[in-house]
Amino acid sequence: MGEETKHPIIIGITGNIGSGKSTVAALLRARGYPVIDLDALAARARENKKEELKRLFPEAFPGGELDRRALAREVFADPEKLRALEAVVHPEVRRLLQEELTRVQAPIVFLEIPLLFEKGWEAHLDATLLVAAPLEERLRRVMERSGLSREEVLARERAQMPEEEKRKRATWTLENRGGLAELEAALEKVLRELRGRFGLS
């Protein structure tokens, strides 16, 4: 088998809501690393499975189009409905991900996965990177950017594994408590360790 057929090293990026995952993903892209956003794949999966989701969650489709906020309110308030949503969407996300991975030419690819540990994704990854930040800071960020209420953000937070548990499981933890310069410096340190761990120059 030629070198070009070698599977890339897959690193999962995660963090609880508002931690700064997308900022870290943008910094990685700026450094030339491919990053696949599983939220974007999930949006494509929901569109692909729209008719099935309409039958399951008719109230989340006013006028025939998905209202993501209405769907989120419905499923985050009812674990059974959340499981039903995931049973439809997750297999399609995995299919789309495999398509994306076949196109990656780089030696390392990062996957941005909000519920990485909650859904057992670490079993399919070579290593994991947790982006961590204090709860109040995370709540403020999400409320400012999304217009969600504090209670709506907290409902999403409660649907996630506590950050402290994720710290125990992650290969690396990036502390996102200061400014961008501090975050970039911490990321560079992780990238050096990552390249060393996998024998990459």
Distances from the Cα of 115 to the Cαs of 12, 16, 51, 104, 132, in angstroms? Answer: 10, 8, 25, 23, 14
Do 115 and 185 sit in the same domain of this protein?
yes
Structure tokens at 195: 């390249």
- Give residue 60's domain range: 40-103
How would you list the strands of the sheet with 35-37, edge to edge? 35-37, 108-112, 9-14, 127-132, 172-175
Domain final position from 103, 126, 154: 103
| Same domain flag for 97 and 118 | no
Give backbone dihedrals phi and psi of 149, rounded to 5 degrees, phi first.
-75, 165
Task: Give me the average pLDDT of each 10-residue run along the chain (201 residues).
Answer: 64 95 96 95 95 94 91 90 93 94 94 92 96 94 91 88 95 93 96 94 70
Q: Which of these three, 80, 103, 126, is where a domain ends? A: 103
pLDDT at res. 76: 83
CB atoms within 10 A of CB 1: 5
Task: Check residue 77 and give its pLDDT.
Answer: 86
Q: Is 82 in the same domain as 22?
A: no
Supply the pLDDT for residue 101. Answer: 93
* Residue-wise DSSP of 76-95: HT-HHHHHHHHHHHHHHHHH
Residue 178: give its domain's CATH number.
Answer: 3.40.50.300
What total of structural domains would you count in the chain?
Answer: 2
Most distant pair of Cα atoms in the chain: their distance:
53
pLDDT of the residue at 1: 37
